């Protein structure tokens, strides 16, 4: 693998949804998540991490060192057990090995094998304890640039499950959609934490690729048309960084082209990057 990451990064990603539900809330009948005070749409950090995991698994085939730890129907105790078996260490229920070198070895084994642990970290303190890892990549919540008004659409099921129901009226159902919204999410990548997990330059390039393409193989009737539209990366010259993150995020602004009508396309917005105010030691990369 490539060298371990030795620079700090921040990033801003813009992605859109059209006639879909980007992140349903199970506590609200799967309606699109929304800030009740401002009516801005929300997408959680864990939702976006799931998209990244799915893309990496698809792109790399789930092979070492790009295996995925948190995946559908994974039995985490069984996965953790594999670390102990491969390192020939005896498991003590709910405890790490008493020997510090062995304990560190188990945790490092998980980082070396699983891309999402190296990237996002993991709490692996199950019955088969592999420790805790704080990952170098962290997302905030994505928020729509404008308030959204979710719509409830009635749908009809033409088929029936049982033969006895063939003459009954067709079942009615409902789905929630956002007609259009452009979301912004901000994120952070820590070089000191990358050093601890072994997150490499190759891992970073795969992450950028995942952010750009993660919706391309995630289309469904529920999610409608979703796409990543703009990725802005702030690369620092040093591991500790050359500027505060919030000041870098402030360099990226958006503007509606027509304020008197609701946005219905990416072309309704202009994304602006203030290169003139870029701090020393910062490189701005656009994708």
pLDDT in tens, 160-214: 778 887 777 677 778 999 999 999 999 999 999 999 999 999 999 999 999 999 9
Q: Are strands 142-147 and 137-139 parallel, antiparallel or unpaired?
A: unpaired
Cα separation, 116 vs 133, in Å, equals 11
Q: Is-contact 199 2, C-beta < 8 A?
A: no
User: Does pLDDT of 104 surpass 60?
Assistant: yes
pTM of the model: 0.94
The CA R_g of the chain, rounded to the nearest whole Å, is 22
Is omega for the bond preceding 49 within 30 degrees of 0, making it cis?
no
Cα separation, 241 vs 237, in Å, equals 7
Q: What local confidence, expressed as pLDDT, does residue 275 receive?
A: 97
Whole-number average pLDDT of the chain = 95
Q: What local confidence, expressed as pLDDT, does residue 161 receive?
A: 79
Q: What local confidence, expressed as pLDDT, does residue 236 receive?
A: 98
Q: What local confidence, expressed as pLDDT, does residue 2 receive?
A: 64
Q: How many CB atoms neighbour CB 224 within 10 A?
A: 19
Cα separation, 253 vs 240, in Å, equals 25
């Amino acid at each position: 693998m490539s060298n371990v990451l030795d620079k700090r990064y921040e990033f801003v990603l813009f992605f859109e949804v059209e006639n879909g539900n980007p992140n349903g809330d199970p506590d609200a009948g799967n309606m699109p998540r929304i800030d009740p005070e401002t009516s801005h749409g929300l997408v959680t950090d864990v939702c976006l991490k799931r998209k990244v995991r799915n893309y990496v698994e698809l792109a790399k085939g789930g092979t070492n060192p790009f295996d995925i730890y948190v995946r559908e129907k994974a039995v985490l105790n069984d996965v953790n057990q594999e670390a102990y078996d491969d390192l020939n260490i005896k498991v003590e229920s709910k405890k790490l090995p008493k020997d510090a070198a062995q304990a560190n070895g188990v945790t490092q084994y998980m980082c070396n094998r699983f891309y999402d642990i190296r990237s996002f970290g993991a709490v692996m303190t199950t019955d088969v304890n592999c420790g805790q890892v704080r990952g170098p990549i962290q997302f905030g919540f994505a928020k729509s640039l404008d308030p959204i008004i979710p719509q409830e659409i009635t749908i009809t099921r033409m088929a029936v499950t049982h033969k006895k129901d063939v003459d009954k009226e067709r079942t009615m159902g409902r789905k929630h959609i956002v007609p259009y919204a452009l979301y912004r999410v901000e994120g952070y990548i820590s070089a000191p934490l990358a050093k601890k997990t072994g997150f490499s330059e190759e891992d970073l390039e795969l992450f950028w690729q995942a952010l750009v393409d993660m919706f391309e193989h995630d289309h469904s009737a529920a999610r409608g048309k979703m796409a990543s539209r703009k990725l802005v990366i702030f690369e620092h010259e040093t591991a500790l960084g050359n500027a505060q993150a919030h000041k870098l995020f402030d360099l990226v602004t958006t503007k509606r082209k027509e304020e008197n009508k609701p946005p219905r396309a990416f072309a309704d917005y202009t994304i602006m990057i203030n290169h003139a105010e870029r701090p020393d030691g910062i490189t701005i990369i656009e994708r």
